[in-house]
């Protein structure tokens, strides 16, 4: 290779080029990722010539349709005769089965709609766990349920008395027989176990097995009792009762089904809280005059029309209105019917996917028409307008980003190969030159490159919000789960700050990579990669140690056994105290005897060696002097 290719200036220039190309690769890569991204908020797709042909447009249209259908479902669910009544009764059991609000208390457990919504919002946003409920089995096999406070008062006031057959028969001893007040201790122990949700027999064994409850006169009331733990706080009062347990205790159809009742309550309050929040905070995003999106939905069996265009409300003109929607200027539309063969659209979309969008909400029967269209002249500045604007901003750069990515990656590869070839070489000689870093242990050098990069990743990840999407919310709400309905539409954003962060990351990464890569190449050329390895050094030390041990195993085995015994006995003394004091002393004496004997034996061997080889020892003495 020519000498100029090895000069410091050439190497420095190649390093600068490598860093610059890495920045371009990263920035172009970001653009390409969003170019081909199929996730929510993608901007540009492969082979697209306009926003209306993009996956982003299709996705926004699909999301808008889902939201419209969801609002229709909520409206149909919550309204009666076209009106929303917050005092309308919701039968919890019936709603959990079919998802409908009849307005009647059919099962015995019903709440006002507004109370249900408020309860559900609290449940969804915070912890509403409550004290356990005590389940008591009656002599006839039915059940009575007590709140923990109520049960506690009954025990302490002798309204209920625990009885333990095994203790009374002498089959087991009372665990609190020796206490000052055994009865009080027993009550406290029973309450403690129930409050923690444990089983009496599992906790106290046979003594509390088969526990029963009597009244203060000794009449048997309950043949068994235990704790029910899946309880939530009640922030609403049921219709015609003071609390939930009163309803369950007084309703034979619910007796013995406490778990199902609480599950139905949780499902009902959770779902209706979301539905009411959507209904009350839905805003006017899809109303006429506020969007470029028009929908016309008809339930043929009910002869009912849902639309945001006042000209399309007449059911008798349904087909004419659909044709008008299709043929409107700048209209991009989809028309969905029960049969896939009847699907129509001037967009490149999937008929089955759109049918699933409509049927997912389970609003209509088998005879429906769903038509939706977007005015692509975008006269109104809505989410579609924002999407088109973002597309127009970033689409021209997509092709440039692709070309830049390929060219910069190619130049980067050439620079790295060139730097690798001339690594360790100089223009004035043919020797291999290693620097101080190359003489570090291989693993330590690798860590010096990798660890700072990991710290960089953590620093950027915890302090940078990231490039990507700016959410376009379509209503304001404090409800925790409203993001699912509110922040559904996004526009791509790549700010100057984002460019700076990406550039810094690429620069720092490439500098660390060059340090590690070039050092690795020099180590390979100099054949020091393994020779100067920390692992090799450790293995060599281990082999030498094992060899020394094995060659002197007669003495080393004894020393190791003595050490194990010495340490083991002292650990036993530390754990169990003075019980091992005598044994520890004996081991100490044995260790002392062994060491003295070993020292004497070593000295004896040395003296014999001097007598056997006086010339060698005299020479050593002379050298020392």
CA distance 257 to 92: 14
Nearest to 279 by CA among 475, 64, 104: 475
The DSSP letter of residue 232 is: B
**Whole-prediction pTM:** 0.63
Q: Which helix (H) or strand (E) holds 334?
A: strand 331-336
Name the strands in the sheet holding 368-375, side by side, starting at the edge strand that comes first in the sequence.
Answer: 304-307, 293-299, 368-375, 331-336, 344-345
Q: What is the pLDDT of residues 230-239, one digit of tens each?
A: 999 999 999 9
**Cβ 445 vs Cβ 435: under 8 Å:** no
Task: Please give, one letter per residue, the 3-state secondary structure of 427-446.
Answer: CCECCCCCCCHHHCCHHHHH
pLDDT (0 to 100) of residue 390? 78
Cα 537-541-544 angle, rounded to 5 deg: 135
CA distance 492 to 388: 11
Question: Coil, strand, or helix at residue 293?
Answer: strand
Residues contacting residue 228 through CB under 8 Å, at least 6 positions apart = 132, 133, 134, 135, 145, 258, 259
> How buried is residue 497: exposed, middle or buried, by Cβ count under 10 Å (0-12/13-18/19+)?
exposed
- DSSP H helical ranges for 37-176: 55-78, 92-98, 113-125, 148-156, 165-168
> How buried is residue 231: exposed, middle or buried, by Cβ count under 10 Å (0-12/13-18/19+)?
buried
Handedness of CA 69, 71, 76, 77 (dihedral sign): positive
The DSSP letter of residue 80 is: E
CA distance 254 to 107: 8
CA distance 410 to 416: 10
Residues of the chain under the 70 pLDDT cut: 1-2, 34-49, 178, 180, 465-494, 555-556, 577-580, 611-625
Q: Which helix (H) or strand (E) holds 296?
A: strand 293-299
Cβ density class 17-45: b for 16+ within 10 Å, e for less: bbbbbbbbbbbbbbbbebbebeeebbbbb
pLDDT (0 to 100) of residue 477? 41
CA distance 297 to 290: 18
**Cβ 66 vs Cβ 357: under 8 Å:** yes
**Cβ 44 vs Cβ 34: under 8 Å:** yes
Pairing of strands 468-472, 368-375: unpaired
Segments making up each domain of the chain, as ranges? 3-37+384-396+418-526, 132-231, 293-377, 534-608
Residues contacting residue 39 through CB under 8 Å, at least 6 positions apart = none
pLDDT (0 to 100) of residue 478? 41
pLDDT (0 to 100) of residue 55? 80
Q: What is the pLDDT of residues 285-298, one digit of tens each?
A: 899 999 999 999 99
pLDDT (0 to 100) of residue 61? 93
pLDDT (0 to 100) of residue 612? 67
């Amino acid at each position: 290779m020519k000498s100029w290719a090895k000069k410091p200036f050439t190497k420095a220039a190649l390093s600068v080029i490598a860093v610059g190309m890495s920045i371009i690769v990263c920035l172009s890569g970001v653009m390409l990722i969003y170019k081909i991204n199929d996730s929510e908020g993608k901007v540009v797709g492969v082979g697209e010539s306009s926003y209306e042909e993009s996956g982003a447009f299709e996705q926004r249209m699909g999301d808008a349709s889902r939201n419209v259908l969801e609002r229709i479902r909520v409206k149909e669910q919550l309204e009666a005769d076209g009106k929303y009544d917050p005092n309308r009764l919701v039968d919890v059991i019936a709603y959990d089965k079919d998802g409908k609000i009849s307005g009647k208390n059919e099962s015995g457990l019903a709440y006002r709609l507004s109370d249900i919504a408020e309860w559900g919002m609290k449940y969804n946003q915070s912890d509403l766990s409550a004290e356990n409920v005590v389940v008591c089995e009656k002599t006839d096999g039915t059940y009575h349920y007590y709140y923990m406070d109520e049960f506690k008062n009954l025990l302490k006031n002798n309204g209920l008395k625990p009885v333990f057959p095994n203790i009374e028969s002498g089959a087991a001893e009372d665990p609190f027989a020796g206490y000052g007040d055994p009865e009080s201790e027993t009550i406290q122990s029973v309450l403690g176990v129930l409050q923690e949700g444990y089983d009496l027999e599992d906790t106290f064994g046979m003594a509390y097995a088969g526990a029963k409850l009597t009244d203060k006169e000794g009449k048997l009331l309950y043949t068994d009792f235990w704790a029910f733990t899946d309880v939530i706080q009640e922030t609403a009062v049921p219709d015609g009762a003071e609390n939930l347990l009163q309803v369950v205790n007084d309703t034979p159809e619910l007796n013995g089904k406490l778990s199902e009742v609480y599950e139905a309550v949780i499902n009902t309050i959770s779902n209706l809280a979301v539905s009411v929040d959507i209904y009350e905070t839905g805003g006017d995003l899809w109303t006429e005059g506020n969007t470029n999106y028009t929908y016309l939905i008809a339930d043929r069996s009910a002869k009912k029309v849902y639309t945001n265009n006042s000209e399309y409300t007449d059911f008798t003109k349904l087909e004419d209105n659909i044709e008008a929607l299709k043929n409107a200027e700048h209209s991009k539309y989809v028309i969905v019917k029960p049969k896939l063969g009847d699907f129509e659209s001037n967009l490149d979309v999937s008929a089955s996917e759109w049918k699933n969008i409509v049927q997912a909400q389970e609003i209509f029967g088998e005879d429906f028409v769903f038509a939706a269209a977007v005015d692509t002249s975008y006269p109104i500045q809505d989410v579609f307008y924002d999407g088109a604007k973002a597309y127009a901003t970033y689409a021209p750069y997509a092709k440039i980003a692709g070309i830049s990515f390929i060219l910069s990656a190619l130049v980067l590869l050439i620079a790295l190969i060139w730097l690798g070839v001339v690594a360790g070489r100089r223009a004035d000689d043919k020797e291999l030159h290693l620097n101080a870093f190359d003489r570090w242990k291989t693993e330590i050098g690798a860590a010096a490159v990798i660890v700072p990069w990991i710290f960089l990743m953590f620093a950027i990840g915890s302090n940078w919000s990231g490039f990507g999407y700016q959410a376009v919310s379509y209503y304001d709400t404090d409800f925790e789960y409203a993001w699912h309905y509110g922040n559904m539409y996004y526009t791509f954003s790549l700010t100057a700050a984002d460019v700076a962060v990406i550039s810094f990351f690429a620069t720092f990464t490439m500098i660390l990579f060059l340090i590690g890569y070039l050092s690795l190449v020099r180590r390979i050329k100099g054949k020091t990669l393994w020779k100067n390895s920390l692992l090799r050094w450790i293995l060599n030390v281990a082999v030498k140690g094992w060899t020394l041990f094995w060659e002197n195993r007669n003495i080393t085995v004894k020393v190791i056994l003595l050490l194990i015994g010495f340490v083991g006995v002292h650990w036993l003394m530390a754990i169990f105290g003075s019980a091992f004091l005598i044994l520890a002393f004996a081991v100490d004496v044995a260790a002392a005897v062994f060491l003295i004997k070993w020292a004497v034996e070593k000295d004896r061997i040395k003296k014999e060696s001097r007598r056997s080889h006086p010339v060698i020892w005299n020479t050593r003495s002379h050298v020392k002097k």
